[in-house]
């Protein structure tokens, strides 16, 4: 059970909630109990079902039209066609057709999002599960998703929601104010947009972030960073912290395994840096496909040169899933090799993820080398960083947002 | 002692091998056999009076046109001398037959109701139980908008979309494609008759038989880049589709040469025809040429010149896929016209 829960390849949905199986009241209670047991240290409700989102609890509200709003990022073309300007794919979409993401549809020359307030997954997760290690450690995030994704990673662990159309997945109508209220109800200082790909539900993300801020709840996003610059500035400009899945440091990998491009993701990271957004990077190490020394070194050098040495970089363990079941789990020595290379290049905060109990899950002061945050599973069990963000031993300033 | 001449060990082995090849071939889908041996036959049937003096298709004339097309398709060995005999070559009592229609374009450019009714009529006459015929597409609402009346359960012809029964949980994968298949395909049918329409597609070039299988999977939006190549070919390689596919009856009563896949009346024409073949690749290649001819007639550029030539049709015929023939020299186009 624990092993299932700690895997994060992208961020995996908790296994006790199948998106294709709507929960009844009994299942919801069992789900909550099971999650509460697994994540017992948190001492908070660990699971909220979509049913709990609906003001009419337990009632499926699949009226497709209530989730439809005009999309924000597109350009009209002749003959009722449109060009989507949300992600670098720039889908040219004819009337009655959808973009690559499957959740945006051209209706008579007007482009629409079909997933505003259409929440297909909702959970209370430790923020370390995103993973964000330098942002409010030990807190929980009210984590939500809609269907859809603008890439198609062959290793996706949440493919059953990310690669589906919204009509194919049970969902509830949960408007932004309702999400913000639930986050407060569950004592979550943050709302996390995660599990599938938040880029594709940008309109909902923006409105919910606004509602959250009005209610005193912050917003974080777990994203592939495959987004156009204008949309990035507008949508992720409303975020308080960002985690980007940098899936490889090679264009060919992005083309073959991700069905996307590397360059726009690197541009996203640079822009987020300029915007002053707290950003962490996850690199899923897939055996034989993106695990060479040269790639690790190239990545670390690029991060140092473009983002600085203080950006947390997480090397995480791959598990065979979806269309990539023929490869083994990433050996721990491979992850340690990646970390050693990034450390040697001068990055200060290089972590190993998805390996419970590994010492590289902890945060150490880059100056005095003392341990400052100890993590057990997804829990920050020890947090020694001072209120002003400095090391209690040498007063070195540790980058991050450590306390609410 | 046997009076028969004894075969040598070499002859015996040769005969066994020949037999094995013949047996193996007989179990292959017909399009693949055609790709390996004879020409693929595509029947192009026209009836200029299909609509009489009105705008709707005349039910009796389309039944008659369908009968003539089926006869032309199956009378190659001259043992098929009636339309019903042709249908009996295709299905057997006990089969559960799926009719995969195309309804995305609404009433203007969807599989024709009268045609589907005519096919259902002949299937029943060939011994298929009424309740074992399923008319289906991706979405029930789209089917209704195209004029189909939903029917679920009972002894009637079944008619509903994949949204009513969902998709398989497990992925079916081949090459570039990994998708969940409609349970209508996997659980309600063992025989598939494809009933696409003939139309232009802004991304893929044309959408006819092969691409109509996008309506079978849960994630078609993932397979539109690069003019749908090689996705369409890879999708049609899935065993669940390939082993069920028996025949394509393309509805070309109304066709579109530009502006698809949504219906654009200004770019459509009353083609008043049907295309029938067991080889979906040959049928697509033939339909593609028809659309190109119409484009030329209207003074439009070729699809190649517009950089949207349907390359997936060529891929479907390549050595990896062998789903049928696209080389014109390997396709026998049989043109028939209805009696006036």
pLDDT in tens, chain B (340 residues): 333 334 455 544 444 444 444 444 444 455 555 555 579 999 999 999 998 777 789 999 999 999 999 999 998 777 888 999 999 999 999 999 999 999 999 999 999 999 999 999 999 999 999 999 999 999 999 999 999 999 999 899 999 999 999 999 999 999 999 999 999 999 999 999 999 999 999 999 999 999 999 999 999 999 999 999 999 999 999 999 999 999 999 999 999 999 999 999 999 999 999 999 999 999 999 999 999 999 999 999 999 999 999 999 999 999 999 999 999 999 999 999 877 6
DSSP letter string, B232-275: HHHHHTSHHHHTTEEEEEEEEEEEESSS-SS--GGGEE---EEE
Measured between CA atoms, the residue of chain B closest to residue A147 is B219
- Which chain A residues have a beta carbon less than 8 Å from that of B167? 168
Instruction: Give the separation between CA B190 and CA B210, rounded to whole angstroms.
Output: 18
Q: Is the pLDDT of residue A21 over 90?
A: no
Mean per-residue pLDDT of chain A:
88
Contacts 24+ apart (CB under 8 A), A337-342: A337/A293, A337/A296, A338/A283, A338/A285, A338/A291, A338/A296, A339/A315, A341/A293, A341/A296, A341/A297, A341/A300, A342/A296, A342/A299, A342/A300, A342/A303, A342/A313, A342/A315
Who contacts B62 (Cβ-Cβ below 8 Å, separation ≥6)?
A: B47, B50, B112, B114, B115, B118, B253, B274
The answer to whether residues B327 and B241 touch, using CB atoms and an 8 Å cutoff, is: no
Who contacts B103 (Cβ-Cβ below 8 Å, separation ≥6)?
A: B110, B111, B137, B139, B142, B143, B145, B146, B148
Indicate which of A104, A149, A152 best probes the interface with B, i.e. most B CBs within 10 Å of its own CB.
Answer: A152
Residue of B104, B218, B225 with shortest CB distance to A96 = B104
Indicate which of A165, A196, A197 best probes the interface with B, i.e. most B CBs within 10 Å of its own CB.
Answer: A165
**Residue at token pair 């979405």:** B139
Q: Is the pLDDT of residue A259 over 80?
A: yes
Instruction: Give the separation between CA B159 and CA B149, rounded to whole angstroms.
Output: 7
The residue with greater pLDDT, B24 or A69, is: A69
The answer to whether residues B325 and B331 touch, using CB atoms and an 8 Å cutoff, is: yes
pLDDT at position A64: 84
- B15 lies in some domain: no
- Which chain B residues have a beta carbon less than 8 Å from that of A79? 259, 264
- CA B20 to chain A, closest CA, distance in angstroms equals 34
Instruction: Give the separation between CA A190 and CA A132, rounded to whole angstroms.
Output: 12
Tokens (6 digits) for B32: 């693949």
Q: Which domain holds residue B268?
A: 30-337
pLDDT at position B31: 54
Instruction: Give the separation between CA A33 and CA A73, rounded to whole angstroms.
Output: 41
- B52 lies in some domain: yes
pLDDT at position A14: 63
Who contacts B242 (Cβ-Cβ below 8 Å, separation ≥6)?
A: B29, B236, B323
Give the CA distances from residue A327 to residues A330, A336, A339, in Å, rounded to whole numbers and listed in that order. Answer: 9, 19, 21
pLDDT at position A54: 53
Residue of A92, A154, A168 with shortest CB distance to B218 = A168
Kindly tell me the burial class for residue A390, based on how many C-beta atoms sit within 10 Å of its own C-beta (0-12, 13-18, 19 or more): middle
- CA A132 to chain B, closest CA, distance in angstroms equals 30
Share of chain A above pLDDT 90, in %: 81
Q: Which residues of B touch A (CB under 8 A)?
A: 104-105, 139, 163, 166-167, 169, 171, 173, 178, 202-203, 218-219, 221-222, 224-225, 259-262, 264
Helix extents (H) in A170-277: 176-185, 202-214, 229-235, 251-253, 263-275
- Which chain A residues have a beta carbon less than 8 Å from that of B264? 79
Instruction: Answer yes or no: do A164 and B221 touch at CB < 8 A.
Output: no
Number of domains composing chain B: 1
pLDDT at position B338: 77
- CA A74 to chain B, closest CA, distance in angstroms equals 18
What CATH number is given to the structural domain containing B149?
Answer: 3.40.50.11440
Question: What is the b/e burial string over B84-107, where b = at least 16 CB atoms within 10 angstroms of the residue's CB?
Answer: bebbbbbbeeebbbbbbbbbbbee
- Smallest CA-to-CA distance from B272 within B29, B64, B21, B128 is with B64
- Which chain B residues have a beta carbon less than 8 Å from that of A323? 171, 173, 178
Cβ contacts below 8 Å, chain A against chain B, sum to 55
Helix extents (H) in chain B: 9-27, 30-36, 59-74, 83-90, 113-125, 140-145, 183-188, 231-236, 239-242, 280-297, 311-316
Instruction: Answer yes or no: do A98 and B173 touch at CB < 8 A.
Output: no
- Which chain B residues have a beta carbon less than 8 Å from that of A164? 218-219
- Which chain B residues have a beta carbon less than 8 Å from that of A91? 224
Give the CA distances from residue A206 to residues A23, A202, A324, B241, in Å, rounded to whole numbers and listed in that order. Answer: 28, 6, 33, 42
Q: Is the pLDDT of residue A42 over 60?
A: no
Measured between CA atoms, the residue of chain A closest to residue B167 is A168
State the average pLDDT over residues A266-278. Answer: 98
- B9 lies in some domain: no
Q: Is the pLDDT of residue A50 over 50?
A: no
Tally of CA atoms within 13 A in the half-sphere of A255 that contains its CB: 4
| SS3 at position A226 | coil
Share of chain A above pLDDT 70, in %: 85
Instruction: Answer yes or no: do A99 and B222 touch at CB < 8 A.
Output: no
The answer to whether residues A285 and A318 touch, using CB atoms and an 8 Å cutoff, is: yes
- CA A101 to chain B, closest CA, distance in angstroms equals 7
A2-56+117-383 placed in CATH 3.20.20.70: yes
- Which chain A residues have a beta carbon less than 8 Å from that of B219? 102, 163-165
Who contacts A356 (Cβ-Cβ below 8 Å, separation ≥6)?
A: A2, A3, A6, A376, A377
How far, in whole angstroms, is CA B215 from its chain's centroid? Answer: 13
Q: Is the pLDDT of residue A328 over 60?
A: yes
Instruction: Answer yes or no: do B166 and A20 touch at CB < 8 A.
Output: yes
- Which chain B residues have a beta carbon less than 8 Å from that of A92? 202-203
State the average pLDDT over residues A14-30. Answer: 42
- Smallest CA-to-CA distance from A165 within A85, A92, A226, A98 is with A98
Tell me the β-bridge partners of B177: B174
């Amino acid at each position: 059970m624990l092993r299932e829960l700690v895997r994060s390849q992208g961020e995996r949905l908790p296994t006790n909630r199948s998106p294709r199986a709507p929960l009844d009241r009994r299942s919801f209670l069992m789900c909550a109990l099971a999650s509460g047991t697994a994540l017992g240290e948190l001492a908070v409700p660990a699971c909220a079902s979509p049913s709990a989102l609906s003001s009419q609890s337990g009632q499926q509200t699949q009226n497709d039209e209530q989730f439809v709003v005009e999309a924000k990022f597109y350009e009209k073309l002749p003959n009722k066609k449109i060009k989507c300007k949300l992600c670098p794919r720039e889908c040219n979409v004819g009337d009655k057709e959808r973009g690559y993401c499957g959740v945006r549809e051209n209706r008579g020359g007007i482009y629409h999002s079909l997933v505003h307030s259409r929440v297909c997954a909702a959970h209370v997760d430790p923020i370390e599960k995103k993973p964000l290690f330098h942002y409010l450690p030990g807190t929980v995030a009210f984590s939500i998703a809609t269907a859809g994704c603008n890439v198609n990673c062959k290793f996706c662990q949440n493919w059953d929601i990310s690669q589906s159309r919204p009509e194919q997945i049970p969902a509830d109508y949960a408007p932004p104010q309702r999400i913000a209220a639930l986050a407060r109800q569950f004592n979550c200082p943050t709302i996390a947009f995660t599990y599938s790909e938040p880029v594709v539900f940008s309109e909902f993300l923006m409105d919910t972030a606004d509602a959250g801020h009005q209610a005193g709840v912050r917003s974080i996003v777990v994203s592939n960073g495959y987004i156009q610059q204008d949309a990035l500035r507008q949508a992720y400009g409303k975020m308080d912290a960002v985690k980007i899945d940098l899936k490889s440091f090679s264009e060919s990998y992005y083309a073959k395994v991700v069905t996307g491009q590397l360059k726009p993701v690197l541009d996203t990271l640079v822009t987020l840096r300029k915007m002053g957004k707290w950003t962490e990077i996850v690199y899923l190490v897939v055996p034989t496909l993106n695990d060479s020394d040269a790639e690790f070194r190239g990545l670390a050098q690029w991060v140092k040169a473009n983002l600085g040495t203080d950006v947390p970089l997480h090397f995480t363990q791959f598990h065979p899933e979806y269309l990539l079941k023929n490869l083994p789990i990433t050996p721990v020595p491979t992850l340690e090799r990646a970390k050693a290379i990034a450390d040697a290049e001068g990055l200060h905060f290089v972590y190993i993820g998805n390996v419970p109990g590994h010492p590289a899950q902890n945060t150490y002061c880059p100056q005095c080398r003392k341990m400052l945050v100890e993590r057990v599973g997804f829990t920050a069990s020890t947090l020694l960083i001072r209120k002003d963000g400095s090391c209690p031993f040498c007063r070195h300033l540790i980058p991050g947002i450590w306390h609410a | 002692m046997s009076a028969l001449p004894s075969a040598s060990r070499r002859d015996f082995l040769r005969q066994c091998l020949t037999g094995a090849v013949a047996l193996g071939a007989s179990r292959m889908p017909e399009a693949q056999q055609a790709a390996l041996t004879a020409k693929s036959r595509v029947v192009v049937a026209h009836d200029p009076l299909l609509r009489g003096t009105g705008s709707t298709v005349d039910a009796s004339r389309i039944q008659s046109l369908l009968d003539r097309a089926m006869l032309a398709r199956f009378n190659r060995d001259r043992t098929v001398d009636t339309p019903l005999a042709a249908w009996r070559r295709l299905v057997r009592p006990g089969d559960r037959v799926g009719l995969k229609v195309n309804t995305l374009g609404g009433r203007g450019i969807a599989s024709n109701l009268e045609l589907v009714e005519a096919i259902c009529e002949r299937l029943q006459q060939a011994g298929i139980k009424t309740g074992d015929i399923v008319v289906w597409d991706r979405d029930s609402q789209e089917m209704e908008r195209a004029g189909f009346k939903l029917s679920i359960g009972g002894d009637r012809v079944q008619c509903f979309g994949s949204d009513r029964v969902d998709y398989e949980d497990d992925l079916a994968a081949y090459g570039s494609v990994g998708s969940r298949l409609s349970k209508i395909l996997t659980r309600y049918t063992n025989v598939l008759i494809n009933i696409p329409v003939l139309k232009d597609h802004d991304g893929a070039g044309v959408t006819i038989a092969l691409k109509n299988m996008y309506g079978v999977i849960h994630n078609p939006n993932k397979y539109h880049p690069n003019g749908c190549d090689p996705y369409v070919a890879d999708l049609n390689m899935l065993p669940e589709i390939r082993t069920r596919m028996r025949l394509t009856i393309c509805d070309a009563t109304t066709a579109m040469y530009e502006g698809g896949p949504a219906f654009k009346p200004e770019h459509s024409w009353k083609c008043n025809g049907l295309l029938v073949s067991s080889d979906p690749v040959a049928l697509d290649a033939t339909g593609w040429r028809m659309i190109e001819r119409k484009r030329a007639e209207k003074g439009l550029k070729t699809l190649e010149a517009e950089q949207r030539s349907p390359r997936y049709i060529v891929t479907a015929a390549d050595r990896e896929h062998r789903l049928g023939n696209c080389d014109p020299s390997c396709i026998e186009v049989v043109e028939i016209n209805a009696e006036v």
